[in-house]
């Protein structure tokens, strides 16, 4: 028995179908000319089927216990229960199944479909009429303006499923605009220009004796000043350092923010920045830290991992070439940081900034970041894997804090003098 569906109707598909109940929810109404569409909400919602019912039904169509059912079997399931479903919802489900690029549906997708967790996608599909229901590819859309083409490009850059791409394309309004990554980038450039004029140096600023005297960089002697574990990301060792980080942040961060929102992307970025400085304080205890590489590498590595895991579904142009270029940029920037770390410091005995922050950002991106980007429509608090990685990350932060409080004195670490 399939339940959990909300009765749905569309004026574009009303011909040849039975009239929906008066108290359906949501109901779609339009005027005679079809110029205005209104979504009417109702409190009458059918009960949601329990989890074990979905599991038993899924197992029936997955006798191999592979964790997946083919879209053909899913269509068979819908056909077997078609008499119990609203005909318009049935058409949407079939369109969603046909639009699955992998040709198979995992258990979580199955539960999301059957329990109506994707009600927004269903509603939008119905409101858009025949284009969605026929499974027409978003690439085939014509007559789009510049902003619409940008949104479509971003959808294909970041989302692996055609259904998600269509829903995102139809619902994105540039409100709020993607300002977080732009604001971070502008702040980094402003800080760099300020210290560039103050130090009279724009290349390898770290070689200036006054570089670390700023209140922003992390320095092991000043690790009690907690803001430095985050503020160090606004300082860069030179224009080459800033340029590589800024390019990766804008090319990857802005599209991700447009799709996933400032809250999710900001969470990944801040966690990467904090993990970077804490990783340095634990593994490279005598070195200072500057640069936004921890946050940048968290975003880029999460995006690249998401592309690899959904390789067949990602339809971005030249994805292999673009991925190779991203890896080259990351490698060049990381190699520059390693070289600088072991290059003779300009003012001994204080060493040059550490490169370990890059690795901390990568670890955050491949764990917490991947989970955050995995399903852009599902809430984070509903993802058990998110809470697992978040708890592990929190435990790491707590351990690193205790390490900074006690380990330096217990190990009798000889720290460089304060700047």
Any idea which residues carry the catalytic annotation?
Answer: 293, 358
Asked if 389 and 363 touch (Cβ cutoff 8 Å), the reply is no
Q: Taking the alpha carbons of 56, 61, 64, 67 in that order, is the dihedral positive or negative?
A: negative
E strand spans, 252-316: none
The helix (run of H) or strand (run of E) holding residue 301 is: helix 293-309
What's the burial of 51, exposed, middle or buried (CB within 10 Å: 0-12/13-18/19+)? exposed
| Rounded alpha-carbon distances, angstroms, from residue 2 to 147, 204, 271, 283 | 40, 65, 41, 55
| Integer-rounded Cα radius of gyration of the chain | 26
Q: How many CB atoms lie within 10 A of CB 85?
A: 17
3-state SS class at 233? helix
Asked if 47 and 115 touch (Cβ cutoff 8 Å), the reply is no
What DSSP letter does each residue of 135-191 carry, written as one string?
T--GGG--S--HHHHHHHHHHHHH---HHHHHHHHHH---SS-S-HHHHHHHHHHHH
β-bridge mates for residue 68, sequence order: 106
């Amino acid at each position: 028995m399939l339940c959990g569906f909300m009765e749905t109707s569309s004026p574009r598909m009303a011909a040849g179908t039975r009239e929906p109940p008066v108290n359906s929810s949501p109901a779609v109404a339009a005027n005679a000319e079809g110029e205005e569409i209104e979504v009417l909400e109702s409190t009458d919602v059918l009960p949601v089927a329990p989890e074990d019912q979905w599991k038993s039904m899924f197992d029936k169509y997955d006798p191999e216990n592979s964790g997946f059912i083919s879209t053909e079997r899913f269509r068979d399931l819908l056909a077997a229960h078609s008499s119990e479903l609203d005909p318009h919802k049935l058409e949407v489900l079939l369109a969603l199944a046909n639009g699955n690029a992998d040709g198979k549906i995992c258990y979580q997708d199955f539960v999301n479909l059957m329990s109506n967790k994707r009600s927004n996608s269903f509603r939008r599909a119905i409101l858009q009429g025949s284009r969605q229901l026929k499974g027409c590819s978003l690439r085939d859309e014509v007559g789009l303006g510049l902003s619409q083409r940008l949104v479509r490009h971003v959808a294909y850059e970041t989302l692996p499923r055609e259904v998600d791409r269509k829903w995102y394309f139809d619902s994105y309004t540039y409100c709020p605009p993607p300002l977080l990554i732009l604001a971070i980038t502008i702040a980094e450039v402003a800080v760099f220009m300020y210290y560039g004029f103050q130090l009279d140096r724009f290349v390898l600023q770290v070689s200036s004796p006054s570089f670390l005297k700023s209140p922003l960089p992390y320095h092991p002697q000043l690790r009690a000043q907690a803001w430095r574990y985050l503020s160090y990301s606004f300082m860069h060792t030179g224009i080459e350092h800033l340029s590589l980080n800024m390019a990766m942040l804008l090319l990857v961060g802005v599209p991700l923010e447009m799709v996933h929102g400032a809250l999710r992307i900001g969470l990944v970025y801040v966690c990467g920045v904090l993990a970077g400085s804490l990783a340095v304080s634990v593994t490279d205890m005598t070195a200072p830290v500057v640069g936004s590489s921890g946050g940048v590498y968290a975003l880029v590595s999460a995006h690249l991992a998401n592309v690899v895991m959904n390789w067949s579904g990602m339809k971005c142009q030249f994805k292999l070439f673009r991925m190779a270029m991203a890896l080259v940029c990351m490698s060049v920037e990381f190699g520059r940081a390693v070289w600088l770390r072991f290059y003779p410091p300009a003012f001994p005995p204080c060493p040059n900034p550490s490169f370990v922050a890059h690795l901390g950002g990568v670890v955050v991106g491949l764990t917490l970041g991947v989970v955050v980007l995995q399903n852009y429509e599902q809430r984070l608090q509903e993802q058990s894997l998110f809470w697992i990685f978040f708890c592990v990350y929190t435990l790491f932060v707590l351990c690193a804090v205790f390490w900074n409080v006690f380990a330096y004195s217990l190990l009798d670490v000889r720290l460089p003098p304060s700047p």
